[in-house]
Amino acid sequence: MAEKFEALEQQLELFIENTRQMGIIVSDFQPQGQNVLNQKIQTMVSEMNEIDKMRSQIDNVLVPMEVFDYIDQGRNPNLYTKDCLEKALAKNEHVKGKTDNLKRFKAMLLVELSKVFPNEMEMYRALKQGRGPT
C-alpha cells in the first residue's frame, strides 16, 4: 500500500512543479512563449489523467475532514496525529480524575453508610463476596 502512496506523491509533485512553472510563464507572458505554455497545459492534462488512474488504487482510504482543515490553515497535516494523541491524553487524564473521585466518593459513602446502617452494610458486603446473609 505504501508504494501506491509513493507513486501518487511523486505524480502530485510533478503536477505541482508543472503548475508552478505554468504560473511563471503566465505571470510574465510573452507571445513567443505560447508554444511552451501549450506544452505545459498538455503536460498538466496528462498528469491529471495519471492521477485519476491512481484513484482506484487508494479509493478505500478515508481521510478525516480535520486533516483538510489543517492544510487549509497552512499547518502540517502530519501534526494532526500528534494533536489527536495530545487531546486523547488530556481527555484520558480528565476521565481518570473523574474515576478517582468516584472511587473516593464510594469509599466515603461506604464508611458513612456503615455508620448509619451497620446491619444492612454487613449484608451488602456478604452478598458482594458471594456469601449469603448471616
pLDDT (tens digit per residue) in 23-56? 988 898 888 889 988 999 999 999 999 999 888 8
Task: State the average pLDDT for the chain.
Answer: 90
pLDDT band at 77 (very low <50, low <70, confident <90, very high): confident
Given a cut of 70, is residue 73 above it in pLDDT? yes
121, 113 contact by CB (below 8 A):
yes
Tell me the backbone φ, ψ of residue 29, rounded to 5 degrees.
Answer: -65, 130
Given a cut of 80, is residue 2 above it in pLDDT? no
Region of 102 (left: φ > 0; alpha: ψ -120 to 50; beta: rest) is alpha
Region of 117 (left: φ > 0; alpha: ψ -120 to 50; beta: rest) is beta
d(CA 112, CA 130): 23
- Residue 1 is predicted with a pLDDT of 63
pLDDT (tens digit per residue) in 82-124? 999 999 999 999 999 999 999 999 999 999 999 999 999 999 9
